[in-house]
Amino acid sequence: MKKLLLLLLLIPNLVMANEYLSLCKKQSEYMNKYLPRQLDNISVLNKTYCVVSKGKLYFQFDHTILDPKKLPKNIKKLSKKEAKKTYCSREYRKSLNYWTYDFYYLDGNVRPLFSFSIDKSDC
Protein backbone atom coordinates (compact mmCIF):
# COMPACT_ATOMS: atom_id res chain seq x y z
CA MET A 1 0.00 0.00 0.00
CA LYS A 2 2.82 2.42 0.88
CA LYS A 3 4.52 1.65 -2.44
CA LEU A 4 1.31 2.34 -4.33
CA LEU A 5 0.86 5.65 -2.51
CA LEU A 6 4.47 6.62 -3.26
CA LEU A 7 4.00 5.71 -6.92
CA LEU A 8 0.83 7.80 -7.14
CA LEU A 9 2.68 10.76 -5.67
CA LEU A 10 5.57 10.41 -8.15
CA ILE A 11 3.53 10.00 -11.34
CA PRO A 12 2.52 13.68 -11.67
CA ASN A 13 6.17 14.75 -11.23
CA LEU A 14 7.34 12.27 -13.85
CA VAL A 15 4.68 13.44 -16.30
CA MET A 16 5.63 17.09 -15.76
CA ALA A 17 9.36 16.33 -16.14
CA ASN A 18 8.65 14.52 -19.42
CA GLU A 19 6.50 17.46 -20.58
CA TYR A 20 9.35 19.94 -19.93
CA LEU A 21 11.87 17.70 -21.71
CA SER A 22 9.51 17.52 -24.67
CA LEU A 23 9.11 21.32 -24.69
CA CYS A 24 12.87 21.80 -24.44
CA LYS A 25 13.47 19.42 -27.34
CA LYS A 26 10.84 21.17 -29.49
CA GLN A 27 12.46 24.55 -28.88
CA SER A 28 15.89 23.14 -29.62
CA GLU A 29 14.72 21.47 -32.84
CA TYR A 30 13.08 24.70 -33.97
CA MET A 31 16.23 26.74 -33.33
CA ASN A 32 18.46 24.15 -34.98
CA LYS A 33 16.56 24.58 -38.26
CA TYR A 34 18.18 28.02 -38.53
CA LEU A 35 21.68 27.02 -37.38
CA PRO A 36 24.57 27.37 -37.72
CA ARG A 37 24.30 31.15 -37.64
CA GLN A 38 26.97 33.79 -37.25
CA LEU A 39 25.94 35.97 -34.30
CA ASP A 40 28.59 38.65 -34.61
CA ASN A 41 32.06 39.13 -36.10
CA ILE A 42 33.69 36.45 -33.92
CA SER A 43 31.03 33.91 -32.87
CA VAL A 44 28.80 31.30 -34.47
CA LEU A 45 25.94 29.49 -32.77
CA ASN A 46 26.27 25.95 -34.12
CA LYS A 47 23.56 23.94 -32.43
CA THR A 48 21.36 23.63 -29.36
CA TYR A 49 20.66 20.54 -27.28
CA CYS A 50 18.44 19.40 -24.43
CA VAL A 51 20.19 17.15 -21.95
CA VAL A 52 19.07 15.44 -18.76
CA SER A 53 21.83 14.88 -16.23
CA LYS A 54 21.42 13.77 -12.61
CA GLY A 55 17.70 14.44 -12.82
CA LYS A 56 18.12 18.03 -14.05
CA LEU A 57 17.25 19.42 -17.48
CA TYR A 58 19.71 21.59 -19.42
CA PHE A 59 19.17 23.66 -22.56
CA GLN A 60 22.63 23.88 -24.11
CA PHE A 61 24.10 26.24 -26.69
CA ASP A 62 27.18 25.20 -28.68
CA HIS A 63 29.19 28.15 -30.05
CA THR A 64 32.38 28.48 -32.06
CA ILE A 65 34.66 31.46 -31.58
CA LEU A 66 36.18 32.31 -34.96
CA ASP A 67 39.18 34.23 -33.63
CA PRO A 68 39.84 33.50 -29.94
CA LYS A 69 42.74 36.00 -29.93
CA LYS A 70 40.20 38.82 -30.20
CA LEU A 71 38.48 37.83 -26.94
CA PRO A 72 39.01 40.06 -23.91
CA LYS A 73 40.51 38.38 -20.84
CA ASN A 74 37.23 38.66 -18.90
CA ILE A 75 35.09 37.23 -21.72
CA LYS A 76 33.37 34.66 -19.52
CA LYS A 77 32.19 37.33 -17.07
CA LEU A 78 31.11 39.66 -19.89
CA SER A 79 29.29 36.88 -21.75
CA LYS A 80 27.40 35.73 -18.68
CA LYS A 81 26.41 39.31 -17.87
CA GLU A 82 25.02 39.76 -21.41
CA ALA A 83 23.26 36.38 -21.38
CA LYS A 84 21.62 37.20 -18.04
CA LYS A 85 20.06 40.30 -19.61
CA THR A 86 18.20 38.00 -21.99
CA TYR A 87 17.57 34.86 -19.98
CA CYS A 88 16.63 36.64 -16.75
CA SER A 89 14.11 38.80 -18.62
CA ARG A 90 10.40 38.24 -18.10
CA GLU A 91 10.13 36.43 -21.44
CA TYR A 92 12.61 33.67 -20.48
CA ARG A 93 12.56 33.63 -16.67
CA LYS A 94 9.72 31.11 -16.40
CA SER A 95 11.77 28.54 -18.33
CA LEU A 96 14.41 28.72 -15.59
CA ASN A 97 11.93 26.91 -13.34
CA TYR A 98 12.28 23.89 -15.62
CA TRP A 99 15.82 23.93 -17.00
CA THR A 100 19.24 25.56 -16.77
CA TYR A 101 20.82 27.27 -19.75
CA ASP A 102 24.38 26.12 -20.53
CA PHE A 103 26.64 28.02 -22.91
CA TYR A 104 29.70 26.33 -24.43
CA TYR A 105 32.32 28.15 -26.48
CA LEU A 106 34.87 26.27 -28.59
CA ASP A 107 37.62 27.32 -30.95
CA GLY A 108 37.73 26.32 -34.62
CA ASN A 109 39.47 23.05 -33.67
CA VAL A 110 36.64 22.17 -31.26
CA ARG A 111 38.80 22.83 -28.20
CA PRO A 112 36.91 24.25 -25.21
CA LEU A 113 37.54 27.93 -24.53
CA PHE A 114 35.03 28.65 -21.76
CA SER A 115 31.53 27.86 -20.58
CA PHE A 116 28.95 29.09 -18.11
CA SER A 117 25.43 28.35 -16.94
CA ILE A 118 22.41 30.43 -16.04
CA ASP A 119 19.83 29.10 -13.63
CA LYS A 120 17.09 30.79 -11.65
CA SER A 121 19.49 31.66 -8.80
CA ASP A 122 21.33 33.97 -11.23
CA CYS A 123 18.30 36.19 -11.75
pLDDT confidence of residue 55 = 85
Percent of the chain with pLDDT over 90: 76
Distances (CA, A) of 98 to 17, 22, 29, 88, 118: 8, 11, 18, 14, 12
Split at pLDDT 50, 70, 90, the class of 1 is very low
Does position 109 have pLDDT exceeding 70, yes or no?
yes
The correct answer on CATH 3.20.20.70 for the domain covering 2-122 is: no
CA atoms within 13 A on the CB side of 86: 6
24-67 pLDDT, tens digit each: 999 999 999 999 999 999 999 999 999 999 889 999 999 999 99
Q: Which residues contact 96 (CB under 8 A, 6 or more apart)?
A: 87, 88, 118, 119, 120, 123
pLDDT confidence of residue 18 = 72
Does position 108 have pLDDT exceeding 80, yes or no?
yes
pTM, two decimals, is 0.83
Percent of the chain with pLDDT over 70: 86
List the chain domain ranges: 2-122
